Amino acid sequence: MLFLSQMSSFHPSNWDTLIPTMGFTVLGGLATWLYLKDKKKPGHASVRDYLVVAAVLTIVTILEVALIPISESGWVKLPHHYWLTTLYVMAIAKFVIVLMYFMHLYYDRWVYTALFGVGMALSLATFWAMLAMLPGEPVRTPEPYVKKAHGAASPAPAGPWGVLASLPPERLEGLSPEARGALVFEGLQCGHCHRVQGSQVAVGDFGPALDGIARVAAGRVPGLDAEGYLRQSILEPGAYVVRGYFNGMPALRARMTDQEVDDLVRYLLTLGGEGACRPALTAA
Amino acid sequence: MSATSAHHHPEHGASDHALTGFPHHELGSAGLPHRKILMWTFLASDCMFFGSLIATYLAYKGKSLLGPYPSDILNIPVTSASTFVLLMSSLLMVLTLSAIQRGDLRKFRQWCFGTVLCGVIFLGFQVYEFHEFVVHGLTLSRSLFGSTFFVLTGTHGTHVLFGVIWLLSLLIYSYRGGVTPERAGDVEIAGLYWHFVDIVWIVIFTVIYLVEFIV
């Protein structure tokens, strides 16, 4: 699967694309079953049946929402994608139950299921193809759900575990600081705004391109050497903004451990390639 | 019309009309009502519409440059309540259809009103939520999250609004004698649309709200 190879290494498993596949299979199975049952089954649901279905839907919804505090409590420890799958399975179950009973597909002629099924299949196939072609989302370990005070908006989820903690330890074994820094770069999706030549993922134009940054860093801000400048750029992005760009770099301090900041700077210092940072394509 | 009354469809005899809810001339040669086929085809296409919006949301998830981020402002308790309201509106919708199929006009109006009420309450929750988000700084143009969230949930909310108007029209029509068991198919089609809007919300609620906070 060529597309999947473009996925960021931070996507531990491509559950976002497996979900449509699962949905696909469920619907396919449903359609087949309904077709087979078509000839033998007449009838309607009774009011009592509807009430039972509504009760089931309510219970499943409560369970779905309850998964959040349950997963946070650590009472049952499961990998992230196991929780996701459980959640998705419950959602698909509700989806199918409403289709079958409230929308009457269980009792109706098979042709209605076929019509709807074609639309669902096309939708899921497009969904899957689209997600498979895009780099995976960075795994931002979410903070436990806490209702924020009015007006407060934290810049990024804070956590002492940093960016690399979501990778399996074997992945980091034996890596040089520069290589680890490259992973931090990837995990924070710096390439989304900062282009790096030769990278298929780092193609962003929001910020200055980073090719050759190692060569020009020292001369940017008086009093800061290359390493100092890079640190300032990462930790206090608003302190110095390259001419032609807007002050839009997010606060990233809270998302990295100290070691990761060092590694990232080490990595950036290896980018001494040809071509200084290109000016913005449009003047700010 | 006397020529057509001689037709005997394999699935429908004269006594089945009350069950199908569509007048004879609206059935095709396979005994399938045109408008019901149309509605299911439309819902299939609407699947693709929402599928692409949800895929876009997922494609841009986690890539916003600026806050507020989803974990900052999404409110699970309130949205769970609105989800429950919409779910119950689907129950009321099947009761509405069941009532008119039995010929119980009074119950039809009662349940139909209930469905409309639940729809309006859901819309109220959405308006409240949108207002809160804007107050906290999340607008359509603020960030990828802002754009994808408002387009997706806004489109869904618009669908709900159309459904509410449709059901309200049926309710008013029933006071003019337009809703009868022989034409229960009219209510059935409205019901299909309404349930579809509900199942789309099931997916949206899971993908936007619940997935955000699962550890």
Which pLDDT band, with edges at 50, 70 and 90, does A284 fall under?
A: very low
| b/e code B120-137 from CB counts within 10 Å (16+ = b) | bbbbebbeebbeebeebb
Which pLDDT band, with edges at 50, 70 and 90, does A76 fall under?
A: confident
pLDDT in tens, B35-81: 999 999 999 999 999 999 998 998 888 777 776 889 889 999 999 99
Task: Report residue B172 as tokens.
Answer: 């008013």
Contact at 8 Å (CB) between A71 and A83?
Answer: yes
For an interface test with B, give the residue of A112, A118, A249 to mutate (most B CBs within 10 A): A112
A259 touches chain B (CB under 8 A): no
Cβ neighbours of B205 in A, within 8 Å: 91
Cβ neighbours of A127 in B, within 8 Å: 51-52, 54-55
Cβ neighbours of A91 in B, within 8 Å: 202-203, 205-207
- Distance from the A179 Cα atom to the nearest Cα atom in chain B, whole angstroms: 23
Candidate ranges A62-71, A81-90, A158-167, B159-168; pick with highest mean pLDDT: B159-168
- Report pLDDT for A2: 36
Cβ neighbours of A47 in B, within 8 Å: 95, 98
Q: Is the pLDDT of residue A110 over 60?
A: yes
pLDDT in tens, A84-94: 888 888 898 89
Closest CA in chain A for residue B206:
A91
Q: SS3 of B33, please?
A: strand
Nearest to A148 among B66, B72, B196 (CB): B72
Q: What percent of chain B has pLDDT over 70?
A: 91
- Report pLDDT for A38: 53
Q: Is the pLDDT of residue A282 over 60?
A: no
Q: Is the pLDDT of residue A197 over 90?
A: no
- Report pLDDT for B40: 96
Cβ neighbours of B188 in A, within 8 Å: 104
Which pLDDT band, with edges at 50, 70 and 90, does B19 fall under?
A: low
Nearest to A151 among B45, B63, B136 (CB): B136
Cβ A50–B215 below 8 Å, yes or no? no
Closest CA in chain A for residue B82:
A61
Q: Which of B41, B38, B50, B42 lies closest to B157, judged by CA?
A: B50
- Report pLDDT for A92: 87
CB pairs under 8 A between A and B: 180
Which carries the bigger pLDDT value, residue B148 or residue A191?
A: B148
Cβ B48–A122 below 8 Å, yes or no? yes
Which pLDDT band, with edges at 50, 70 and 90, does A156 fall under?
A: very low
| Beta bridge partner(s), residue B33 | B27
- Report pLDDT for A192: 78
Q: SS3 of B159, please?
A: helix
The number of beta carbons lying within 10 Å of the beta carbon of residue A111 is 15
Which carries the bigger pLDDT value, residue A282 or residue A269?
A: A269
Cβ A153–B50 below 8 Å, yes or no? no
- Report pLDDT for B68: 84
Cβ B45–A119 below 8 Å, yes or no? yes
- Report pLDDT for B93: 97
What is the complex's ipTM, to 2 decimals? 0.87
Contact at 8 Å (CB) between B140 and B118?
Answer: no
- Report pLDDT for B106: 95
Which of A132-141, A265-274, B63-72 is predicted with the least confidence, judged by mean pLDDT? A132-141
Q: Is the pLDDT of residue B34 over 60?
A: yes
Q: Is the pLDDT of residue B9 over 80?
A: no
Closest CA in chain B for residue A83:
B214
| Distance (Å) of CA A230 to CA A210, A239, A267, B98 | 11, 12, 11, 69
Which pLDDT band, with edges at 50, 70 and 90, does B116 fall under?
A: very high
d(CA A169, CA A165): 8
List A residues 124-143 in contact with B (Cβ-Cβ < 8 A): 124, 126-127, 130-131, 134, 137-138, 140-143
Task: Report residue B83 as tokens.
Answer: 């989800």
pLDDT in tens, A27-49: 777 766 766 665 545 567 788 98
Which of A234-248, B148-162, B168-182 is predicted with the least confidence, judged by mean pLDDT? A234-248
In the predicted model, what is the mean pLDDT of chain A?
Answer: 75
- Report pLDDT for B154: 97
Q: Is the pTM of this model over 0.80?
A: no
Sequence-separated (6 or more) residues with CB below 8 Å from residue A157: A140, A141, A142, A143, A254, A255, B69, B71
